[in-house]
Amino acid sequence: MASLRKKLQSPYWFACFVKPDGTRTQRSTKQKKRADAQAVADEWEKAARKRYSEAQFRRVLSDIHTEIHGTPLESPSFATYGAQWLARKAVEAKPVTHSAYKLVVTEFSSFLGDRASQPLHYVTTGQITAWRDGRAVKTSPATASNNIKILRVLFASAWREGLIPDNPAAKVETLRSNSAERRPFTLKEVKAALAVASPEWRGMILAGIYLGQRLKDIALLSWANVNLERSEIHLRTSKTDRSQILPIAAPFLAYLTELEVGDDPNAPIFPEAHRIATENQAVAQLSRQFAALLVTAGLAKKPSKLATKHESTGKGRSAPRDRNGLSFHCLRHTATTWLKMAGVSEAVTRDLIGHDSATMSNHYTHTDEKSKRSAIDLLPDITA
């Protein structure tokens, strides 16, 4: 029979019982009445001796709650809680982030099938692990790992609300990615991409190299961001909310001065890219366009995602996407690499390119405009 004890400054009884490995453990029963606490402690010890599975253990908790309080342990189904959680996140998260959350909840609910209508505490670590492995096969290890991180957030929220005793997704490890490692472009490769690019994509490639910013921030640039008199671009990054003042390199400035500028200061610099990014609240379509551009330039193999419905890859829609080592984001890596190769200091490089973490960026000392302009001038002319 399990024993009970009280701890200072805690109103609850703690259960002391033996685990399957022979060691003793203590856990709060969250009960203030000794009789109720003893019932919980005895059930825990029984469950430990029988080596209950995770789902069985949660059923025991629900049964104990029913015996003590006369009502079942409150636990909505995964489908119900997932919908409630998404409704909250629609207010709290950015649209693109909410879309990612919605995809994960939908995919995991589909995986659970009828089990998605069972109480939330019936979801097990084993089920989440199996779903992770399936996602890794259909998409990529990196995507599967990101999906697990989203489930961790969802279940952590349910745990904080007292709906589940622990977070089953927290016990699921992320996977090491086996996809092609992203790398910087060479100067020859950048010129090859420029040679086959449309006028708008040519400008976006120039912006990617000489501004070092992410695809979405470049696609959303308007003439209001541009100060041609000072040869500067002012923007606020969408991911880190970091305010940037960037000198415009001569090759990109030459491109901008050739464009027709209307009377509307909010007119986009890259109209088509701006339309796609705005309508979709994401840049996946633009990423695919750039991937196709790389294929045309001979810098990448044609991914299955780019095949038309008449061009079968022989792999099926559930097959993993083909991945190459180059993407638009690699232009950002390229800018960083070239700046460092030119001897630009780490501080100036960080200030020009920005940092993935807004918190970390706040600790950086902003460099003066002269230093940044001198650094940009050291970058090679990819239009020559």
Specify whether the CB–CB gap between 212 and 336 falls below 8 A.
yes
Strand blocks (E) in 7-68: 13-18, 24-28
**Residue 110, C-beta contacts closer than 8 angstroms, at least 6 positions apart:** none
**Which residues, 6 or more positions from 323, have their beta carbon under 8 angstroms from its beta carbon?**
140, 179, 180, 303
Per-residue pLDDT of the chain (384 residues; tens, 9 = 90+): 688 988 888 888 898 877 666 677 788 888 888 988 888 888 777 766 665 455 555 566 666 666 666 665 567 899 999 999 999 999 988 887 888 899 999 999 999 999 999 888 889 999 999 999 999 888 888 889 999 999 999 999 998 887 887 899 999 999 876 555 678 999 999 999 999 999 999 999 999 999 999 999 999 999 999 999 999 999 998 887 888 899 999 999 999 999 988 889 899 999 999 999 999 877 889 999 999 999 999 999 876 544 444 344 444 434 444 445 799 999 999 999 999 999 988 888 888 887 554 343 343 344 577 888 898 998 999 998
For residue 329, CA distances in Å to 14, 73, 215, 243, 279 come to 53, 48, 7, 19, 21
SS3 (DSSP) at 23? coil
C-alpha–C-alpha distance, residues 153 and 158, integer Å: 9
pLDDT of the residue at 48: 67
Residue 194 has, within 13 A of its CA and on its CB side, a CA count of 21
Q: What are the domain boundaries of the chain?
A: 3-51, 78-171, 187-306+323-376
226's enclosing H/E stretch is strand 226-227
Collapsing DSSP to helix, strand or coil, 8 comes out as coil
CATH code, 78-171: 1.10.150.130
What CATH number should be reported for the domain whose range is 187-306+323-376?
Answer: 1.10.443.10
